[in-house]
């Protein structure tokens, strides 16, 4: 279940965002030279394993990479840029490293060892910025907007071609980032940008309370900000400083944390029963479908996985991670009263890039042109988490993706439960980088079996047929795949804990490998309620969870 702002709230937030971008850009431009590091020797590598990785196999530095040889000579002699600008480490690539990072791009210059002295100017060079936190396995696949080549528009979203490397380094491909502030203190707070050379503080914004007051600013890696209470003194700079941060990358930081008390729900079972009966009725309202089953499993492209994973890794700890705001107004869909449900917000520009890139995948699966409606997350579930069976908003959530970003210390698969068009239950195992396509307003879905251990991090992104908010009232157009209703007799051939491996075999193999080993099929909201009871925590599990909380 995902919550969307009202149109008036979105309008106000967008106006605020535009204002903050302008303010932040002025402050950033005024201090561009102030945050640059001292020049240092550029490293030349021929294998990507020589990049600086930590024990988690993640990059420890932002990287600005380009071909070794004459291209490197041109870049390294430019006095306006140098190793360390915006905390980027300059690295020249040769051999296998060059091929891995640039070889998949059409019409790039030959590898440095084969260019025969043909590089005459920046027009003959290529470059790329790779963000810190990127996983070693996908470090050679940054998103398209992070590549530079003179006169080439490698990112179709980019409004202006960046024909010089200086502009590229100062763009959101490299040094420029979007950063957010969210306030859970009892008072509004004031945000100041700090001049790195003089120490002078420039007022930036008064920060309201709560998620809906989150403030975004465009700034640069290495810039410093301070956040002060507005009371008791008239001058906030004389009050308590709640936060001082030097911007390390794109992200959002929380000042204190949302208080989410673990309060037992009175009449919980009755509330769940009513909720599930309502969700059952809602899923019957949607007429249109897009696929035979209502869902499918897939895999993220490497560049999207690299970017999503880096963002999560860089912002996975407090104060960037805060408790998600839940309460009676949002229903029982996540058992927030029993477990911590954490949230890592995403800046708007990154959302736009990710959602646009993922739309290509969802359109191919759904077989229709789609428009973006919502992206929600990143949500971190913790031990004991459950997600009640539900469907999403009809007007906006036609074809969607569940994206598994990361799993930490998860010792037992936590399956996503999806009911197909015949209301048969499928239990799908996901690994980091996996995606599940699903018709989220029609296909009932949830995670009723409690998460046994660890943390499980997901992102959700949603689309609908372009220009058609009433798509769900339509009959299926010609060419829509026929719904897979009758698959013949089915039997259990595996174990009850064998998920996503074909533990159930049916006469029609088109049903796929994800049928629940329980062979559960719902016929009513009461059946969904009984499933919630049957797979819920045992008395021992509940006692253990209560002790931990």
- For the residues of 483-532, what is the DSSP string, one character each? P------EEE-S-TT--SS--EEESSGGG-S-B-TT--B--SHHHHHHHH
d(CA 176, CA 123): 23
Res 264 pLDDT > 80: no
Res 42 pLDDT > 90: no
Determine the average pLDDT of the residues in 428-437.
98
Angle at 285 between CA 279 and CA 290, to 5 degrees: 105
What mean pLDDT, rounded, does the chain reach? Answer: 88
HEC assignment per residue over 367-392: CCCEEEEEEEEEEEECCCCCEEEECC
Q: Which residues pair with 92 in a beta bridge?
A: 44, 66
Per the listing, tokens 């530079």 go with 148
Determine the average pLDDT of the residues in 434-462.
98
d(CA 162, CA 159): 9
Res 18 pLDDT > 90: no
pLDDT at 483: 98
Per the listing, tokens 């029982």 go with 332
Task: List, for residues 104-157, the tens digit of each pLDDT value.
Answer: 887 777 667 555 445 556 667 899 999 999 999 999 999 999 999 876 655 555
Per-residue pLDDT band for 73 (boundaries 50, 70, 90) equals: confident
The answer to whether 462 and 374 are in contact (CB under 8 A) is yes
pLDDT at 22: 35
pLDDT at 12: 34
Determine the average pLDDT of the residues in 63-82.
89
pLDDT at 400: 98
Determine the average pLDDT of the residues in 166-193.
96
At how many degrees (to 10) do helices 268-285 and 525-534 cross? Answer: 130
Closest CA to 421 of 293, 255, 265: 293
Alpha carbons within 13 A on the beta-carbon side of 14? 7
Per-residue pLDDT band for 328 (boundaries 50, 70, 90) equals: low
Helices (H), 343-454: 348-366
pLDDT at 152: 66
Per-residue pLDDT band for 172 (boundaries 50, 70, 90) equals: very high
Angle at 546 between CA 542 and CA 268, to 5 degrees: 65
Sequence-distant contacts of 266-270: CB under 8 A, at least 24 apart: 268/332, 269/533
pLDDT at 195: 96
pLDDT at 41: 61
Determine the average pLDDT of the residues in 420-449.
98
The answer to whether 472 and 288 are in contact (CB under 8 A) is yes
Task: List, for residues 455-464, the tens digit of each pLDDT value.
Answer: 999 999 999 9
Q: Which residue has the higher pLDDT, 204 or 161?
A: 204
Res 549 pLDDT > 50: no
pLDDT at 266: 80
Closest CA to 458 of 335, 282, 300: 300
d(CA 227, CA 201): 11
Q: Rg (Cα) of the chain, in Å, rounded? A: 25
HEC assignment per residue over 299-322: ECCHHHHHHHHHHHHHCCCCCCCE
Alpha carbons within 13 A on the beta-carbon side of 366? 29
Percentage of the chain lying above the pLDDT 70 cut:
85
Per-residue pLDDT band for 1 (boundaries 50, 70, 90) equals: very low
Q: Which domains does the chain have, with CATH numbers?
A: 7-32+176-255 (2.60.40), 34-169 (no CATH), 268-548 (2.60.120.620)
Res 38 pLDDT > 70: no
Size of the chain in residues: 549
CB atoms within 10 A of CB 530: 15
Res 28 pLDDT > 50: no
DSSP states of 248-307 as a string?
-SSEEEEES-------PPTTHHHHHHHHHHHHHHHHHH-----SSSSEEEEE--HHHHHH
pLDDT at 79: 83
Res 36 pLDDT > 50: no
Per-residue pLDDT band for 76 (boundaries 50, 70, 90) equals: confident
pLDDT at 23: 38
Instruction: Put residue 159 in one of left, alpha, beta given phi > 0 → left and psi -120 to 50 → alpha.
Output: alpha
Q: Which residue has the higher pLDDT, 26 or 445?
A: 445
Per-residue pLDDT band for 158 (boundaries 50, 70, 90) equals: low
Closest CA to 400 of 418, 380, 386: 418
Task: List, for residues 278-301, the tens digit of each pLDDT value.
Answer: 999 999 999 999 999 999 999 999
The answer to whether 399 and 439 are in contact (CB under 8 A) is yes
The beta-strand segments (E) located in 121-222 are 126-130, 147-149, 176-183, 189-194, 201-207, 215-220
Res 10 pLDDT > 90: no
pLDDT at 7: 33
The answer to whether 455 and 382 are in contact (CB under 8 A) is yes
Q: Could you tell me the CA-to-CA distances from 84 to 29, 63, 399, 476 in Å, in that order?
A: 17, 9, 43, 56
Q: Which one of 34-38, 163-167, 427-431 scores highest in mean pLDDT?
A: 427-431
pLDDT at 327: 72
d(CA 399, CA 465): 8
């Amino acid at each position: 279940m995902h919550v969307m702002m009202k149109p008036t709230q979105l309008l106000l937030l967008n106006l605020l965002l535009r204002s903050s971008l302008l303010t932040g850009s002025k402050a950033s431009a005024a201090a561009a030279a102030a945050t640059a590091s001292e020049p240092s020797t550029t490293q030349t590598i021929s294998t990507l394993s020589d990049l600086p990785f930590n024990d988690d196999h993640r990059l420890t530095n932002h990287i600005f990479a380009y071909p070794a040889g004459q291209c490197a000579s041109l870049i390294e002699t430019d006095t306006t840029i140098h190793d360390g600008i915006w905390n980027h480490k300059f690295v020249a690539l040769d051999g296998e490293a060059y091929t891995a990072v640039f070889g998949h791009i059409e019409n790039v210059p030959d590898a440095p060892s084969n260019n025969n002295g043909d590089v005459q100017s920046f027009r003959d060079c290529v470059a790329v910025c790779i963000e810190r936190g990127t996983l070693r396995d996908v470090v050679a696949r940054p998103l398209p907007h992070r590549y530079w080549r003179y006169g080439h528009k490698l990112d179709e979203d980019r409004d202006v071609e960046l024909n010089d490397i200086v502009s590229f380094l100062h763009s959101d491909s490299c040094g420029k980032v979007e950063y957010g502030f969210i306030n859970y203190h009892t008072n509004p707070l004031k945000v100041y940008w700090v001049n790195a050379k003089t120490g002078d503080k420039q007022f930036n914004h008064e920060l309201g309370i709560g998620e809906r007051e989150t403030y975004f600013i465009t700034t640069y890696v290495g810039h410093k900000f301070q956040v002060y209470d507005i009371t008791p003194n008239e001058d906030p700079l004389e009050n308590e400083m709640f936060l001082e941060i030097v911007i390390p990358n794109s992200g959002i930081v929380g000042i204190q944390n949302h208080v989410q008390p673990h309060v037992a729900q009175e009449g919980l079972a009755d509330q769940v029963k009513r909720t599930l009966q309502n969700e059952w009725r809602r899923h019957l309202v949607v007429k249109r479908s897009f696929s035979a089953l209502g869902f499918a499993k897939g895999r993220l492209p490497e560049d999207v996985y690299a970017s999503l994973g880096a963002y999560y890794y860089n912002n996975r700890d407090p104060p960037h991670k805060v408790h998600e705001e839940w309460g009676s107004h949002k229903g029982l869909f996540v058992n927030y009263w029993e477990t911590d449900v954490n949230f890592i917000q995403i800046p708007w520009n990154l959302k736009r890039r990710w959602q646009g890139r993922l739309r290509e995948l969802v359109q191919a699966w759904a077989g229709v042109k789609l428009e973006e409606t919502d992206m929600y997350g990143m949500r971190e579930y913790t031990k004991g988490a459950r997600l009640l069976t539900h469907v999403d908003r009809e007007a906006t959530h036609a074809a969607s993706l569940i994206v598994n970003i990361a799993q930490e210390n998860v010792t037992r698969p936590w399956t996503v439960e999806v009911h197909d068009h015949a209301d048969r239950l499928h239990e799908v195992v996901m690994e980091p980088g996996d995606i599940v396509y699903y018709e989220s307003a029609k296909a009932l879905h949830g995670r009723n079996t409690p998460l046994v251990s660890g943390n499980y991090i997901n992102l959700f992104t949603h689309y609908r047929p372009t220009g058609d908010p009433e798509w769900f009232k339509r009959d299926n157009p010609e060419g829509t795949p026929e719904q897979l209703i009758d698959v013949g007799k089915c039997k259990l051939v595996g174990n009850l804990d064998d998920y996503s491996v074909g533990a159930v075999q049916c006469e029609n193999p088109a049903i796929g490998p994800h049928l629940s080993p329980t062979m559960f099929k719902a016929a009513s909201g009461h059946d969904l309620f009984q499933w919630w009871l049957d797979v819920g925590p045992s008395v021992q599990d509940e006692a253990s969870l209560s002790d931990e909380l």
